[in-house]
A and B are shown apart, each in its own frame.
Chain A
């Protein structure tokens, strides 16, 4: 079964080199369970790379600075 991303909130850089972005997501597979998710441009999973690209393109709003 292919899970569908149903929401993505609070994107924020997870490293100084800006290769990782942390956020909270919900998916069709896990219903309302909020999952911490790290999007990476180097993810072996295609959906992970696509989410990273979408966040960078501004689809989910601005990306908070790395702390």
Chain B
């Protein structure tokens, strides 16, 4: 880039005397000035649609024409263009997406802060689900039994619990075990109890119904022992008469 530099000072010629040869304005001098002007102009950019080369520097605050949204060229972007584009993007912190956002699908068993896509969830559930032998309602899910459920069966797979298994478990239960029935006497307590009421084992004793008068068929309840069961018992009969202090019924241990 160069600026115009004047080669001949024509004004100084005015003061020269008429016979001085330097007073003459020569065509070559004028040509030189035009060449200087031509060279200087050739290194300047046009005001309209200037084409810069090298490393142009613009001052802060330079204004320009805002490109239309979506413009993707070598045109300079104004702050208005940048703001419009920025408003279309989600924040890095707590972004609020709209539409149908997607993300890369994590591999099964990933346990990180990575986003779980619906494809990941479906794959993870499929991976965690027990295997099934056969198809339809008659198929069998293969489920490993552990913990308390193993008391029902020692088999590693269970398709159903059979009646025999239930009966055998009941038959093998100890006297007073949870889930078993007992004929129990509540002694010395006249309060009525509706069916389904619960009572602590300490207020009950194992007992029986006895005949106290063979000919009149009178009966009574008898605490056969002083042994009280442990746990919580649910009354499977009903104690409706408040006048009788000693009552007996069938009870189910529930805890």
Residue B199 interfacial (CB < 8 Å): yes
Q: Which residues of B contact A1 (CB under 8 A)?
A: 148
Q: Which residues of B contact A30 (CB under 8 A)?
A: 254-255
Q: Which residues of B contact A27 (CB under 8 A)?
A: 255
Q: Are B202 and A38 in contact (CB under 8 A)?
A: yes
Given contacts A30-B254, A38-B230, are A45 and B200 in contact (CB under 8 A)? no
Q: Which residues of A contact B148 (CB under 8 A)?
A: 1-2
Interface size class of A (residues with CB under 8 A): 20 to 34
Given contacts A42-B230, A43-B231, A44-B174, are A35 and B254 in contact (CB under 8 A)? yes
Residue A63 interfacial (CB < 8 Å): no
Residue of A nearest to B178 (CB): A45
Give 11 CB contacts A-B under 8 Å. Answer: A2-B148, A22-B200, A25-B232, A36-B200, A37-B200, A37-B201, A38-B201, A38-B229, A38-B232, A44-B177, A45-B231
Chain A positions 2-18 with a Cβ under 8 Å from a chain B Cβ: 2-3, 14-15
In whole angstroms, what is the CA distance A25 to B178 when docked? Answer: 15
Q: Are B202 and A44 in contact (CB under 8 A)?
A: no
Q: How many A-B Cβ pairs are below 8 Å?
A: 65
Chain B positions 198-233 with a Cβ under 8 Å from a chain A Cβ: 198-203, 228-232
Residue of B nearest to A33 (CB): B198
In whole angstroms, what is the CA distance A29 to B148 when docked? Answer: 14
Q: Are A40 and B147 in contact (CB under 8 A)?
A: no
Q: Which residues of A contact B176 (CB under 8 A)?
A: 43-45
Residue A55 interfacial (CB < 8 Å): no
Residue B175 interfacial (CB < 8 Å): yes
Q: Which residues of B contact A36 (CB under 8 A)?
A: 198-200, 203, 232
Report the minimum CB–CB distance from B70 to chain A (whole Å): 60
Q: Mark A33-56, 1 if CB is under 8 A from B, else 0.
A: 101111110111100100000000
Q: Which residues of B contact A44 (CB under 8 A)?
A: 174-177, 230
In whole angstroms, what is the CA distance A40 to B175 when docked? Answer: 14
